[in-house]
Amino acid sequence: MKLPYIILVDDDRQVLGAIQRDVRSKYRDDYRVVGTESANEALELIKELKLKNEALAMIISDQKMPEMDGVSFLEKAKETFENAKLVLLTAYSDIEAAIKAINTVKLDYYLLKPWNPPEEKLYPVVDDLLEEWHSHYKPDHEGIRIIGYQWSPKSHHLKEFLTGNLVPFLWMDAEHSPEAETYIESAKASSTSLPLVVLKDGKVLADPELSELGNAIGLRQKPAEEVYDVLIVGAGPAGLAASVYGSCEGLKTLLIEKSNPGGQAGSSARIENYLGFPSGLSGGELTRRAIAQTLRFGTEILTPQEVKKIGVHDGYKVVEMSDGSVIHSKTIVVSTGVAYTKLEIPGIEKFTGAGVYYGSAAVEANACRDGIVFLVGGGNSACQAALHLSTFAREINIVIRKDGLRQTAANYLVENISKVPNIKVLGNTEVVAVHGENILDEVTLQNCSTGEQTKVPANALFVYIGSRPGTAWLDDLLLIDDKGYILTGRELTNEKTFHSKWKLNREPYFPESIVPGIFASGDVRSGALAGISSAVGEGAMAIRFVRKYLQEN
């Protein structure tokens, strides 16, 4: 444990020297004893300690000081560390002020000067107070803090980013947590610079970009090598599996992810159909295990970094990143999966992250506590999210155009949902409007047969209405099907342009695209079976063909 602080403040250098000497000689092994002649300097130090999550056990301050009197100083200090023990050093003539302070600042003790001998007049008092402080002291959260407004999209993105990257953090709502105010003040920030991220070492980032935050928490954003054997775009289950098998087989492997490793699976609250986990596991846990495994084999991961373009030059694949940097690789596996389809309702954008969420059930569940939640969509992911949120929210409403869930969701999920009393399925219904000042507070539901509309209160709306492939950035380099999925293997040979584009004497391998050495795996591949197990299998299989390609070239 880090040693707690004792701060001593006295503008009289001689008195400060004396109290410092006495306190240090007895307590220096168990406390960090710091002295200053300036009350303002002490207040600055106190704020710094707060940001660094240090513990402040006691402040001993003189009453008569030029910058401010001791009582006013202690009052200010207490706003930041409300549990620190406060001791006022007084001359006999200041006793009245000290007695008053017992009530106003809840002064713990006033100590008359001089305090000689300390064994009689100082140490017994300080011992008692420190013992009492220890008995009530609870260590603060040691890691990262995010301070912002609950319904701010920016706060939501930061939370989602850290959750997805498996970085623990403490969320502090600027509106409802008095401690959040202390942090904002200590960081000399204002409400316009929120969200704030306070790092472990006390460094503060005001409204940071994801790349700035990624850098600050040590996520790698620049490659270590000049050329890789295989570069994998997207760290969902397919990309993670490809990276595990790539590095395990001794290939120089680079995995690039634009936001959070884990992909869609990372946002799943409970995966129940993954082999080897009979009681299910969360997407976060699956991702954590996969990252640990792939790092152990030597994969390099760059995140958050978005691949903007790929091309081919002198036989090497050239990958352009969103920050303008370029990376070379002998082969590429594209495993960019799919992204959520947006709900097309006028004005909904303004609520995204402020009451409307796409697949963030695990991240925002706590914010739904005792609230009324609507979920649009009746597939497996919507059902999983409903089950997860039902333990937080007062009421969950699954809104679907069809009559019920039987046609769209797996049996076991439909069964589980029917047993949860606070989940209602609103069949034959759609959400047609969203309302609120800055955050969502109502939705309009429409009966699909009669057209009848009802406006109802809503604290959150989660959208699970399908997805589209993440291939727009490929810029015609690869052949894609009419829905945007990457064509591979035999499928390519049916394309009109196949013979003009494919010049090798062999056919494309099963996961190979129209460009030799560029492969696709997982949900983004045309004809792939969506799902975690299939994505993992496809990632592993892509590496088999990467090896074949490397042996030939």
Residue 271 binds to ligand FAD (criterion: CB under 6 A): yes
| Residue placing its CB nearer to ligand FAD in the complex, 270 or 547 | 270
388 binds ligand FAD (CB under 6 A): no
Residue 205 C-beta: closest distance to ligand FAD, Å: 22
Establish if 535 lies at the interface with ligand FAD (CB under 6 A): yes
Nearest partner of 62 among 103, 114, 100, judged by Cα? 114
Angle at 367 between CA 209 and CA 381, to 5 degrees: 85
Beta carbon nearer to ligand FAD, 47 or 270: 270
> Using the rule CB under 6 A, is 256 a contact of ligand FAD?
yes
What is the C-alpha separation between 73 and 44, in angstroms, rounded? Answer: 12
SS3 of 336-362: the string is CCEEECCCCCCCHHHHECCCEEECCHH
Distance CA 128, CA 147 (A): 35
Residue range at the interface with ligand FAD (CB under 6 A); choices 63-71, 122-130, 193-201, 525-533: 525-533
CB closer to ligand FAD out of 84 and 383: 383
Task: Tell me whether residue 436 or residue 511 sits nearer to ligand FAD (CB atom).
Answer: 511
Angle at 495 between CA 489 and CA 497, to 5 degrees: 110
Contact by Cβ (8 Å): 235, 257? yes
Comparing CA positions, the residue from 204, 290, 30, 43 lying closest to residue 134 is 30
Does position 300 bind ligand FAD by CB under 6 A?
no
- Asked if residues 166 and 288 have their Cβ atoms less than 8 Å apart, the reply is yes
Pair type for strands 372-376 and 32-36: unpaired
358 binds ligand FAD (CB under 6 A): no
Does 195 help bind ligand FAD (rule: CB under 6 A)? no
Q: How many CB atoms lie within 10 A of CB 282?
A: 18
Whether 329 and 316 have beta carbons less than 8 Å apart is answered as yes
35 in contact with ligand FAD (CB under 6 A): no
Pick one of 335, 360, 390, 397: the residue that binds ligand FAD (CB under 6 A). 335
Q: Is 359 in the site for ligand FAD (CB under 6 A)?
A: yes
**Position among 99, 326, 456, 530 found at the interface with ligand FAD (CB under 6 A):** 530
* Closer residue to ligand FAD, CB minimum distance, 446 or 533: 533
Residue 236, interface with ligand FAD (CB under 6 A)?
yes
Q: Return the residues of window 129-188 that contact ligand FAD according to CB under 6 A.
A: none
Contact 53, 140 (CB under 8 A): yes
Q: If binding means CB under 6 A, how many residues of this protein chain bind ligand FAD?
A: 38
Among the listed ranges 39-47, 231-239, 346-354, 427-435, the one in contact with ligand FAD (CB under 6 A) is: 231-239
CB of 456 to ligand FAD, least distance (A): 24
Binding ligand FAD by CB under 6 A: which of 20, 352, 381, 459? 381
Task: Give the H or E element holding residue 277.
Answer: none
Task: Please identify, among the stretches 18-26, 165-173, 260-268, 323-331, the one whose residues bind ligand FAD according to the rule CB under 6 A.
Answer: 260-268
DSSP 100-149: HHHHHS---EEEESP--SHHHHTHHHHHHHHHHHHHH--PPP-SEEEEE-
Q: Which is nearer to ligand FAD, 404 or 531 (CB)?
A: 531
Q: Is 355 left (phi over 0), alpha (psi -120 to 50) or beta?
A: left
416 binds ligand FAD (CB under 6 A): no
Contacts of 92 (CB under 8 A, 6+ apart): 112
Positions 468 through 487 that interact with ligand FAD (CB under 6 A): 470, 473
Report the candidate in 405, 340, 363 with the shortest Cα–Cα distance to residue 163: 363
Minimum CB separation of residue 523 from ligand FAD in Å reads 4
- Tell me: does residue 537 bind ligand FAD (CB under 6 A): no
Q: Which residues bind ligand FAD (CB under 6 A)?
A: 233-239, 256-259, 263-265, 267-268, 271, 273, 306-307, 335-338, 359, 380-381, 384, 470, 473, 522-524, 530-533, 535
